Structure 1
Amino acid sequence: MSLSTPSDRFERIRGTDLLSTLRSDPSSLLGTLVVAALTGVALVGPLVLGDPTSGSLSNSLQAPSLAHPLGTDPLGRDMLTRLVYGARVTLGIAVAVTLVRLTIGMVIGLVAGVVGGLVEESLMRLVDFLFAFPGMVLALVVAGVLGPSLQNALLALAVVGWGSYARVVRGSVLSVREEPFVDAAKLAGVSRPRLVITHLVPNVAGPVVVLASLNLGGVLLAASGLSFLGLGAQPPTPEWGTMIANGAPYLRTAPWLINAPGIAIALTVFGFNLLGDGLRDALDIEEVSH
């Protein structure tokens, strides 16, 4: 992997080459369109639809129709409205958790890679400790201790999933710091903070962006799983995992209660995975563990 200039990888992330590469690959283009469409629905949909928590028992469990394209739930609430509002909640959780993970992992990885020695060893042993437990199991424990709520689920997922970012960033830093331009910057008297900001961070941005895009789908699944188990978003919040949990008792009589949010989750994860693969190819990242 060539790193000829300190900001080459960063410029590729921002430049038109990335966009043209994504457009030229059918699967990457499909993933981009899916993610863009879902993001648009999450941002604009709630502005034009009604209250997702209002309904009438006289409309309870109505099958899909022109009046209610995705049917209604046991309380007579429109499923399409709740699904659209749920897109904002569920995607918001996934993005927030990923940003927190990325921030923590970026800081830990940079410190470990730059400082080295005992500090690096200690931080990496902490990462190893996190990887000793399945992430979802650890998140369940944390969420169970903190109590069922959307905020606690977000916190539980954020604090147990930053290890992969720390590993990727540390590995990238160890590779980049051996490059000639880093040695030249040190000889020129560049301070360590400036060296990190102007030389190291731009060159580790590519793998981190790819990892984040691949992680978004997994985070969304985990967040929906916690809500399904009653540890995440609580009724009447229209979160996709909660909607599936509420519709489970009516699987035989009203399958649309589960089908709609289930398909939405699958489609979103599918889109993020395709987008992540496209970014990996566009940025020439050989392998990113997620």
Structure 2
Amino acid sequence: MPTQRTTDKRRQWTDIVPANRLTQFGVVVVFGLLVLAVFGPMVSPYDPVEQHLLNRLQPPSLAHPLGTDQLGRDVLTRLLYGARLSLGIAVAVTAVRLVVGAAVGLVAGYAGGWVDEALMRLVDTLLAFPGIILALVIAGILGPSLVNMMLALAVVGWASYARLVRSSVLSLREREFVTASRLLGRSRLHVATSHLIPNIVAPVVVLATLDIGGVILGTAGLSFLGLGAQPPTPEWGTMLASGRNYLRQAWWLVNAPGICIMLAVLGFNLLGDRLRETLSPTQSAQIEQL
């Protein structure tokens, strides 16, 4: 029979590596993408933008495991550099969304009154428009570039964080420990940093994890339409756009970045679902409504 120490170790291990196979798949995909994004470009012998026209449209081989594109560039190398770019953009945009949305939601929920009303009407206005359509409009007005695309995606996505944080703050500010802190004469800043923010971290982190997959998809979509990364930047969306004209002649040009986008979005969604399952049913319901 297993000892108590062995049982405790098994429980700790299952807490780190979940038993659900789909969740395990999501964790492996996310970890694999992160490893490839960080270390992949270091081991690739090819330059992601250097052209070799004599080697154009070569099928997958030992020299080029995923073939070459219409300009003779190694597709695998461009995918690895694209993973670094796509994941970096997704993390940066999600961080901006989180900071702005959490700040707005915290102020609205704790201040109340006309401040809450004004900020929530702004949030409702943003949530009334489909995010990708609004991002298309903003990116189209600002002009095609990576920075403008990131700005557009950040602008349309912070409202969900604001609504989640506000609802959590409205519930927390009536709790006994917050009331006790007020009666002791603590400042609003002390109450927010000591009691409110620590209790809203978990649902915000879950929403951010789920949001990363959406940002990756939005980045690829805007780049595919020519409003994001511009050639010869190795980005998954631009790779899809440049390879669509060779779909019958070189299937790997579209399939390779398409599969990467699908796996990245699926992996982060599965990981986010696992994190959401660890929360209370109330917090999970709040996230599902966003």
**Shared fold (TM-score greater than 0.5)?**
yes
Which residue of structure 2 aligns with residue 244 of structure 1?
A: 240
**In the alignment, is residue 41 of structure 1 matched against residue 36 of structure 2?**
yes
Distance 1:165 1:22, change over 3 A: farther
**In the alignment, is residue 25 of structure 1 matched against residue 25 of structure 2?**
no
Which residue of structure 2 aligns with residue 53 of structure 1?
A: 49
User: 4+ residue runs of structure 1 moved beyond 3 angstroms?
Assistant: 16-19
Choose the corresponding residue for 2:179, options 171, 179, 183: 183
Cα drift, residue 187 of structure 1: 1.3
Query: Where in structure 1 are there 5+ consecutive unaligned residues?
Result: 1-15
CA distance in 2: counterparts of 1:17 and 1:232, whole angstroms: 43
Query: Where in structure 2 are there 5+ consecutive unaligned residues?
Result: 1-10
Which residue of structure 2 aligns with residue 286 of structure 1?
A: 284
Amino acid of the residue matched to residue 286 of structure 1?
Answer: S
Choose the corresponding residue for 1:121, options 117, 124, 129: 117
Cα drift, residue 21 of structure 1: 5.6
Cα drift, residue 22 of structure 1: 4.8
Choose the corresponding residue for 1:196, options 183, 192, 199: 192
**In the alignment, is residue 69 of structure 1 matched against residue 65 of structure 2?**
yes
- CA displacement 1:19-44 (0-9 Å, x = unmatched): 71653333222211211110111011
Residue 157 of structure 2 aligns to a residue whose secondary structure is coil
Distance 1:18 1:222, change over 3 A: farther
Amino acid of the residue matched to residue 146 of structure 1?
Answer: L
Cα drift, residue 265 of structure 1: 0.2
- CA displacement 1:30-75 (0-9 Å, x = unmatched): 2112111101110111112231011310000001111111000000
Amino acid of the residue matched to residue 284 of structure 2?
Answer: E
Contact 1:34 1:268 in 2 (8 A): yes
Between the two structures, name the one with larger relative contact order (CA 8 Å, sep ≥ 6): 1
CA distance in 2: counterparts of 1:66 and 1:107, whole angstroms: 51
Cα drift, residue 229 of structure 1: 0.1
Cα drift, residue 191 of structure 1: 1.1
Q: How does 1:101-112 map to 2 (within 5 A)?
A: 101-112=97-108
Aligned residues: 275
- CA displacement 1:163-206 (0-9 Å, x = unmatched): 00000000000011111111111112211101101100011111
- CA displacement 1:251-284 (0-9 Å, x = unmatched): 1111100000000000000000000000001233
- CA displacement 1:117-162 (0-9 Å, x = unmatched): 0000000000011012111111001000110001110000001111
Choose the corresponding residue for 1:148, options 144, 148, 173: 144
Which deviates further from its counterpart, 278-287 or 50-59?
Answer: 278-287
Q: How does 1:227-238 map to 2 (within 5 A)?
A: 227-238=223-234
CA distance in 2: counterparts of 1:19 and 1:178, whole angstroms: 36
Which residue of structure 1 aligns with residue 258 of structure 2?
A: 262
Q: Report the TM-score, using the length of structure 2 for normalisation.
A: 0.92
Percentage identity across paired residues of the two chains: 61
CA distance in 1: counterparts of 2:14 and 2:167, whole angstroms: 27
CA distance in 2: counterparts of 1:208 and 1:17, whole angstroms: 24
Distance 1:157 1:19, change over 3 A: farther
Amino acid of the residue matched to residue 19 of structure 2?
Answer: S
Distance 1:18 1:170, change over 3 A: farther
Distance 1:267 1:63, change over 3 A: same
Distance 1:21 1:178, change over 3 A: farther
Which residue of structure 1 aligns with residue 7 of structure 2?
A: none
Instruction: Give the aligned CA root-mean-square deviation in angstroms.
Output: 1.5
Contact 1:102 1:162 in 2 (8 A): yes
